[in-house]
Structure formats: C-alpha cells, structure tokens
Amino acid sequence: MIDIVALREQNENKPWLERTLFISGRLSLDFAQSGGEGEYKVFERLHTPEDLAAWLAMSELSLERAVASRTDVRLAHELRGALWRTANALRGSDAPLPKDIATINNMAATTPLVPVLDQYNVRKFWQQPVSAQSALATIARDAIELFSQRANLPIRQCAGAHCPLLFIDSSRPGKRKWCSMERCGNRAKIVKYRNQH
C-alpha cells in the first residue's frame, strides 16, 4: 500500500524541478507535465508502473493502491503527449492534431474512476480496486472539460525564461505570471534586483 503522507513529504523535500510538477492547478495539465518527449525527456517521472502509481497517489486524485502495468505506462505516455501538444496548440490558438484528439477521446471512452461517498464521514473515495487505466480515463475526461472551454481557455505559460510549464490562471485579476513563485518568480526577482544594482 502506498503511504501518501510519506510520498508527499518526500516530494516536498525534492528539488523544485520535481515539485513543480503539481503546480498547474488542474489534474490533466499536471499530468501533461509529468515528463515528455525530446528535450523534455530529462524531466521524465513515469518510467515504471510503480512511478505511475506513485504519481497518481501524489496527484489530486490521491489514488491509493492503483494497479499499474507496463501497458499503462505506455498508454500514459501516449495520453500525456496528446495532452501536452493539444494544450499548447489551443493556448496558441492553433488547431490541435486529429490524432491527439483521437487519443484523448479514446482514453476518455474507457471506464473512469468511480467516486463513492463514505457513509460515516461523508468523504469521497474511489471504488476499489482502482486501475491506472481508469485513472487515465478520468484524466482524459478532465482534459476534455478543460479544452472545451476554448473561448475562455485559462491556460497560461510561465513567463520564466526557458520555462515551458503551463498552469491555470485562477488568480482574481488574472495576472499570475509564474509556474511557481519559488522557482521562476524568485529567479526573475533576483535578476531584476541584480540589473538594478
């Protein structure tokens, strides 16, 4: 069984690069940034089925005991690539690739996680057993909800130099600039300070 508290603590003690992967404010965007292809391969978090299960436990799904296989890791990479390209295309008002839309739709069409209300403390949990594949379906559905807000898509890219991270700008004035203050925000402040003195 995965110890979520220990994992979270472990995550908090990790360098910013790994911690910032849960900064977007949206499940499907966080997932899109759990690693990548090409130049983003160095940020890969999902190497093994255990990695995938750990990510799902640390994510806002707080998924305990997810059963994951090598096939799930392959499907996760496939979905993640489609989410990343589609998010960036829509953010730049470009047309998303039909094959990426098909990947997201196919994944969303499988059985998602089933929420259950606990009778005693009225808390939500997931019907057991939970599979990584059903978590991927839930993530794909979250992406469909997000991407279909096309006219008012709240996806922004970090203003940090060379930082590709995406996030949902839910700040009141809609002026969030950074993936996270502790990463790019502070770095920009230091550069500004140095340039002024």
Residues interacting with Zn ion, by CB under 5 A?
A: 158, 160, 163, 165, 179, 184
Nearer to Zn ion, 90 or 165 (CB): 165
CB of 32 to Zn ion, least distance (A): 15
Nearer to Zn ion, 2 or 91 (CB): 91
Query: Terminal CA-to-CA distance of the chain, rounded, Å?
Result: 53
CB of 112 to Zn ion, least distance (A): 31
| Residues 113, 135: Cα–Cα separation, whole Å | 6
CB of 22 to Zn ion, least distance (A): 14
Are the C-beta atoms of residues 137 and 63 closer than 8 Å to each other?
A: no
Residue 176 CA: distances (Å) to CA of 14, 104, 172: 24, 28, 9
Nearer to Zn ion, 7 or 91 (CB): 91
Instruction: Verify cis geometry, omega within 30 degrees of 0, for the bond prior to 15.
Output: no
CB of 183 to Zn ion, least distance (A): 5
Nearer to Zn ion, 2 or 181 (CB): 181
Residue 124 exposed, middle or buried by CB count within 10 Å (0-12, 13-18, 19+) = exposed
Nearer to Zn ion, 96 or 160 (CB): 160
Closest alpha carbon to 55 in 38, 90, 39, 79: 79
Closest alpha carbon to 84 in 37, 23, 49: 37
CB of 160 to Zn ion, least distance (A): 4
